[in-house]
Amino acid sequence: MNVSIINIGDELLIGQVVNTNASTMSKMLIAAGMNVKETIVISDDHDAIITSLTRCLDSSDAVLITGGLGPTKDDITKKVLCEFFDSHLVENQEALNNVKRIFAARGYELTPINRQQAWVPECCTMINNVLGTAPCMWFEHNGKVVVSMPGVPFEMENLMRTEVVARLQKNFATGRIINKNILIQGIGESFLSDLIEQWELALPDTIRLAYLPQAGMVKLRLTERIADSQPSSIDSLLPSLYALAGKYIVGEDCETLPELVHKKLTASGKTLATAESCTGGTIASKITAFSGASAYFKGGIVAYSNEVKESVLGVRKETLKAYGAVSEETVREMAEGVRKSLNTDYAIATTGIAGPTGGTLDKPVGTVWIAVAGPNGIETRLKKFGDDRLRTIERTCNEAFAMLISNITK
Amino acid sequence: MNVSIINIGDELLIGQVVNTNASTMSKMLIAAGMNVKETIVISDDHDAIITSLTRCLDSSDAVLITGGLGPTKDDITKKVLCEFFDSHLVENQEALNNVKRIFAARGYELTPINRQQAWVPECCTMINNVLGTAPCMWFEHNGKVVVSMPGVPFEMENLMRTEVVARLQKNFATGRIINKNILIQGIGESFLSDLIEQWELALPDTIRLAYLPQAGMVKLRLTERIADSQPSSIDSLLPSLYALAGKYIVGEDCETLPELVHKKLTASGKTLATAESCTGGTIASKITAFSGASAYFKGGIVAYSNEVKESVLGVRKETLKAYGAVSEETVREMAEGVRKSLNTDYAIATTGIAGPTGGTLDKPVGTVWIAVAGPNGIETRLKKFGDDRLRTIERTCNEAFAMLISNITK
C-alpha cells in the first residue's frame, strides 16, 4: 500500500519552518506497514494543491495532506478540497462543540472567524481534533483515501496516533515492516562500508540496508518487508555483523545516542551531572528532553566563562592560567568538580572552541576536549571537529555520549 | 524563475532524519529572488528519480537535487543522472585531488571505493566540494539547469552559498523578493488576525502576509516580489500595523526570539546568566548556538534536582519546603541566586512540570513559573502550557525570551 504526503504551507516552502511533519508521519506509516512513496511541500496555492493531489492520487492508494486549515485568509485547503470533491461546506455539530470547548477552556470569546473552523465539506467524514480547532477530514474517492489534517505538529501527531493510522490499516490490507537500528561510533561511513562489505552483499533480497550518518556517528538501518504471518530474519543476521564491526557498535534499537544514554542510566539507577563549556547546555538539554530524566540527571553547569569554571566548578586559577580553558587539565577538573559538587556517579565535561572565531595556531577552531568521570576513573579525549559551530557542538555531544555509554557498559 | 527541489534519501522518506535541506535551500533561493515551486522527498530508487526529475523539469527552470552521492551501495543518484543525460562516468582530476586532500588531512588511506567519488558524468560541469568527497554536478539541458549536490547539510549549504546560487542568478534573470519578519508574543493567531484584519485587507497586491505560529508566539511575514529597480513599500505599511498591535510586537527582522535576545544583548554590552529547571539547559543551548554569545553569556545552572537548587543556586530549604520547587518563591530565588553568584546584569530562571508525568491537582502538568531579574528588579510569570513535554519546554523558552527582551528594552 502506497501513501503520498502533501505538506501545504508557504512557511515550509520558503524555508522559514523546517518540515518535521513529513518525517513524523512517515515514521508512523512505515511502522504500520505502509510504504511512503513521496512527500511534497507546496504553497498555499489553489493550482498547486489541485495538481499535486491529482497526481498523488494517480500513484498512491492514500494521500495525507497537512496544513492550510487555520482561520486566517492565507489558509485555503478546505475551500480547495470542496472544489476537488465537488462538495460544499456545512457546519459540523461535533466540530462546533469542540471549538466551543477549546475557547471556553482558554476563557476566550468565540468569534465568527473561529466558528468557521467547524465548517467541513459535506462529503467528508469529520474526525474530531481534540487538541485544536481545525477538524481532520477523511475523503473516499474511487477506492482511494484522502485525509486532510492541520499542520500544527502536535495536533497532526495526535490525530495520526489515535485515528488516522488505524483507519488506514483497516481500510487497506497492510503487511509488516521491521526496522532495526544499530548505532555506530568511531569509524567513518566509507570505512564502515568497506569493513562490512561481504556481510552487506550477503543480505537477503527482502532486506534493505541504509547508512545514516549523524554528527560524528553512523546509524545503520536494516529494513525488512514481510507478510503479517512471516517471521523476521533480521536477528539472525546480527552475529556476523558484530563479528566484523562489534568494537564500533555502541547500541541497538535507539534513534540517537542520548536516547541510549537515557535507557542505560534509567536501567542502572546511577546518576549524572554535566559541566559544559563549548556545548553550552546542549548535552543537558538533550538529556532532559526525555520524560523521566529527573530520576538520574541531577543537573549541570554551563560554564561559559572562566569565572564560572573557577567559582562554580572549582577549576583552579593556576590550571586555567598554565594550560588555558581548552585543555585536558581544565576538562578533567571540570568533570571532577561537577561530579563532586553535584554528588553523582557520572559526569560529562566539555570545553572547546566552537567557532567560527576564537581559534589560535595552537588550538584551531574545532578543538575540543571531552571528559567522562565515573566510578572507574576519568577518561579524556581530544577532538578536532572543523569550523562549523553547530556541527562541532553536535559532534561533541555525540562523542561525549558514546564515551559515557562505553563507561557505563564497562 | 521557478526552482524545484528534490531531496533523495530513504532516511528522509521513512522519517528517520528530518529534512532540513529543503528549508535551508528554499531560504537561500528566495533571498536571491527565485521562486520555489515545490520540494519533494523520494527514495534512493531509480524510477522515482527519473520520474520526479522529468516532471520537475517540465514545470521549473531549474531543479536542485540533494543526496544519494555517498560511496555506499545504497547511493545511486550519480548513476541515474548518467542514464538520464545519456552520458558516462569519467574521473575528474580536480575532484580526485580534492578527495586525496581530504583523506590525507584526516590521515586515512584512499581506498578504491573512495576514489570512485571523483568520477562524474562527462556531460556535467564539476563544482568542487571542498568540505566533502562528493562533487557537485551542474547539468544544462534545453535551456534548463539541473544541479546535483551531496545530502550532507553543511556540504550542501557551503556549495549553495559559494557557488550554486550565484551561478543560477547569472544563468537566469531574477527579480528581488523582500521578506520582513515581525515577532509577536502574548496573543493567539486567530485573535491577532481579528485585530489586524482591516490592515491586512488593505495590503497591496504585490505583498503576501503569512502567519507563522511558533511555540507560544506568532511570526508575521510580509513578502514582496518586485523588479530589481523598484523600491520596496513594506516599511511604509508598518506604522499602521504598530498602531493596531504594537503592544504585542517584540521585534523585527529576526527569525526567532533567541536571535533577538542575542542581538539586543550584544548591542547593549550587558551580561546574562540562566537557572533552568524544567527547560533543562535548552535556554542556554539556544543562546550559545550563536557565535559571539560568550561576550554576554557568562553561564548557567541546570538545577534539575532540589539539591542543586539549594547547593548551587542558594534557594532556601524553607522556601522549597513551604512552597515547593514549582512556585513563584522558588523561581524568584533561583533568578536572584544565579544573577548574584554569576554576577550578571540579567538572569532568567524557569521551574515547572514538563510532564507528561509528575503533575498534581494543584500543579497540573504544564504548570511553569518563569522569572527574569535585571537592573530594574524582578518579574515573575505563571503559565499553564498543557501536557506535551517538548512543546512546554519550547513555550517556556519563548515566554522567557520575550520577558527578557521587554526587560532589556525598558
Q: Which residue of B has its CA nearest to A293?
A: B304
Cα separation, A249 vs B108, in Å, equals 21
User: CB count, 10 Å around CB of A237?
Assistant: 18
Complex-level ipTM: 0.77
| CA–CA min distance A262, chain B (Å) | 14
- The pLDDT, as a whole number, for residue B17 is 78
Cα separation, B205 vs B237, in Å, equals 13
Residue B208 forms contact with A (CB below 8 Å): yes
* Length of chain B, in residues: 410
| CB atoms B280 and A287 under 8 Å | yes
pLDDT over threshold 90, residue A6: yes
CB contact residues (below 8 A), chain A span 156-175, against chain B: none
Side by side, the strands of the sheet bearing B346-352 are A377-384, A367-374, A346-352, A272-276, A297-303, B297-303, B272-276, B346-352, B367-374, B377-384
- Give φ, ψ of A63 to 5 degrees: -125, 120
Label residue B11 by pLDDT band (50, 70, 90).
confident
Label residue A363 by pLDDT band (50, 70, 90).
very high
Per-residue pLDDT tens digits for B70-122: 888 788 999 999 999 999 999 999 999 999 998 887 778 888 888 999 999 99
Tell me which residue in B15, B114, B193 faces A72 most closely, judged by beta carbons.
B193
| CB atoms A70 and B356 under 8 Å | no
Per-residue pLDDT tens digits for A234-279: 999 999 999 999 999 999 999 899 999 999 999 999 999 999 999 9
- The pLDDT, as a whole number, for residue A225 is 80
DSSP H or E run through A213: strand A207-214
Structural domains present in chain A: 2-171 (3.40.980.10), 176-252 (3.30.70.2860), 257-409 (3.90.950.20)
Tell me which residue in B70, B280, B292 faces A285 most closely, judged by beta carbons.
B280
Per-residue pLDDT tens digits for B326-350: 999 999 999 999 999 999 999 999 9
pLDDT over threshold 80, residue A295: yes
- The pLDDT, as a whole number, for residue A32 is 82
pLDDT over threshold 80, residue B176: no
Tell me which residue in A23, A287, A307 faces B298 most closely, judged by beta carbons.
A307
User: CB count, 10 Å around CB of B323?
Assistant: 16
Tell me which residue in B15, B133, B343 faces A24 most closely, judged by beta carbons.
B15
- The pLDDT, as a whole number, for residue A108 is 81
Per-residue pLDDT tens digits for A229-239: 889 999 999 99
Average pLDDT over residues B159-163: 96
Q: Write the CA distances from A376 to A89, A216, B331, integer angstroms.
A: 68, 25, 37
Nearest to residue B398, comparing CAs of B304, B282, B300, B288?
B282
Cα separation, A294 vs B304, in Å, equals 7
Strands A297-303, B297-303: pairing is antiparallel
The answer to whether the beta carbons of residues A394 and A215 sit under 8 Å apart is: yes
Average pLDDT over residues A37-60: 94
Label residue B361 by pLDDT band (50, 70, 90).
confident
* DSSP letter string, A215-281: TTEEEEEEEEEE-TTSPP-HHHHHHHHHHHHGGGEEEES-SSHHHHHHHHHHHHT--EEEEESTTTT
Nearest to residue A25, comparing CAs of A68, A78, A81, A65?
A65
Which residues pair with residue B27 across a beta bridge?
Answer: none
**Residue A293 is which amino acid?**
A
User: CB count, 10 Å around CB of B402?
Assistant: 25
More confident position, A224 or A347: A347
- The pLDDT, as a whole number, for residue B210 is 84
Residue B35 forms contact with A (CB below 8 Å): no
Label residue A44 by pLDDT band (50, 70, 90).
very high
Q: What is the mean pLDDT of chain B?
A: 93
| CA–CA min distance A249, chain B (Å) | 19
CB pairs under 8 A between A and B: 315
Per-residue pLDDT tens digits for B294-310: 999 999 999 999 999 99
CA angle A222, A228, A230 (to 5 degrees): 70
More confident position, B370 or B208: B370
The number of angstroms, rounded, from the C-alpha of B369 to the middle of its chain's C-alpha atoms is 27
| CA–CA min distance B350, chain A (Å) | 13
More confident position, B174 or B250: B250
pLDDT over threshold 90, residue A213: no
Chosen from B5, B41, B286 to mutate, greatest number of chain A CBs within 10 A: B41
Q: What is the mean pLDDT of chain A?
A: 93
The answer to whether the beta carbons of residues B66 and B7 sit under 8 Å apart is: yes
Average pLDDT over residues A386-390: 85
pLDDT over threshold 80, residue A98: yes
Most confident stretch, A91-105, A167-181, A284-298, B165-179: A284-298
Per-residue pLDDT tens digits for A129-184: 999 999 999 999 999 999 999 999 999 999 999 999 999 988 987 777 788 999 99
Label residue B7 by pLDDT band (50, 70, 90).
very high
Q: How does DSSP classify residue B316?
A: -
| CA–CA min distance A197, chain B (Å) | 9
- The pLDDT, as a whole number, for residue A176 is 76
- The pLDDT, as a whole number, for residue A245 is 96
Tell me which residue in B179, B221, B281 faces A302 most closely, judged by beta carbons.
B281
To the nearest whole percent, how much of chain A has pLDDT over 70?
Answer: 100
Cα separation, A314 vs A308, in Å, equals 8
* DSSP letter string, B297-313: EEEEEEE-SHHHHHHTT
- The pLDDT, as a whole number, for residue A58 is 94
Q: What's the number of CA atoms in the CB half-sphere (13 Å) around residue A381?
A: 21
Helices assigned H by DSSP within B32-183:
46-59, 77-84, 93-106, 112-115, 153-159, 165-171
Q: Which residues of A touch B4 (CB under 8 A)?
A: none
pLDDT over threshold 80, residue B65: yes
Per-residue pLDDT tens digits for A11-20: 888 877 788 9
Residue B130 forms contact with A (CB below 8 Å): no
Average pLDDT over residues B15-19: 80
Average pLDDT over residues B42-47: 93
The answer to whether the beta carbons of residues B399 and B219 sit under 8 Å apart is: no
The answer to whether the beta carbons of residues B288 and A304 sit under 8 Å apart is: yes
